[in-house]
Amino acid sequence: MSLALDLVLVKHGRCAETDLSNMNTSLVLIIFVLILNICICRNHNDVSESPSLKLWSKEKDSIEYYTKPKNGITVPIMIHLDKNLSTKLPVKNKMRSQKFKMAARRVLRDVEDIFEHSSLNLTISFQLLDVKILKNKIAKIAMDGDVVKYLKTYCRWQGEQKLKHENWWFSILFTGLDLFYFDDMGHAAKRVTSRSYMKGMCSINNSCTLTEWGNKNTAFMLAHEIAHSLGVPHDGYPNNECRGRHVMSAVFSPLSHNQAKSWSPCSRRALKHYLSSKRAWCLKPEENNKYILV
């Protein structure tokens, strides 16, 4: 832009030398061009400082909509808090409700910190779209403690919403229920605190997870389940040869105050394998106009 303007000035300078009678006209034109150049520079600065490109600041308690120029992948996230969780809030206290949403945002921030651990050797970021409280019972969702049924119906409902809006995101449902599943003997086992679908990240009907709220290790459990959705299995037999204390260990204590922060080589290998596969279409910008319905 500045080079083009310089050429215009030289051109008019030569015209002034050959025709002195047009000197006043040339000077007026030069002044006009200089004013135009100043206006263009100011507009350019305004665009470069556009507030729509704000990044998430870890010093803040909120996660803003952002464009994050990182080497890695960014997963859009929608968070829901179920009716059983919302009933624990005072009915008319909007401030408490807002604080609950802020707490959910902080959990997601902690999850991102786990995925940024150097042992994973890959940057995975999360773009928070919204945090919604499901205060009214939704007929299509079986809101009970059966984790298999609850997760399945929630995921189907979210799948319908994604198709309706012609968009994709990963859905997180925090519940106030004590989750359980039925073991091989048909007995209700309450040793479960969260559940997701293996390699379900880019499946419209399976890109979701259900996690109990209130545990001090909620962020750890959520990171564990998101990793499953990204194709990462548990460490150890029969999945792989890795042992030790890592994020994807098959056994962990939900009440422990010192959960693992590192990822095993097997987890790193499985994640890279998934991201290079066709199942990870939604994490590849050039493929974001497709849906895989499974």
Check 17, 64, 212, 225 and give the catalytic one.
225
What proportions of the chain, in percent to the nearest 5, are helix, strand and coil?
45, 15, 40
Q: What does the alpha-carbon distance between residue 12 and residue 166 come to, in Å, rounded to a whole number?
A: 55
What's the rounded Cα separation, in Å, for the pair 10 and 267?
64
Q: How is residue 110 written in tokens?
A: 């902690």
Distance CA 117, CA 33 (A): 54
Residue 17 annotated as catalytic: no
* Bridging pattern class, strands 194-196 and 208-212: antiparallel
User: Has 224 been labeled as part of a binding site?
Assistant: yes
Question: Which strands make up the sheet holding 208-212, listed edge to edge?
Answer: 123-133, 72-81, 170-175, 208-212, 194-196
The SS3 call for residue 229 is helix
Residues 33/84, Cβ–Cβ less than 8 Å: no
187 annotated binding-site participant:
no
**Residue 294 and residue 284: Cα distance in Å, rounded?**
19
- DSSP strand pairing (188-189 vs 123-133): unpaired
Would the annotation count 246 as a binding residue? no
Cβ neighbours of residue 251 closer than 8 Å, sequence gap 6 or more: none
Q: Of the candidates 235, 263, 238, which has an alpha carbon nearest to the alpha carbon of residue 249?
A: 235
CB neighbour list of residue 81: distance below 8 Å, 6 or more residues apart? 100, 101, 104, 131, 132, 133, 134, 173, 174, 213
Annotated binding-site residues for Zn(2+) read 224, 228, 234
Annotated binding-site residues read 224, 228, 234
Q: Please identify every residue annotated as catalytic.
A: 225
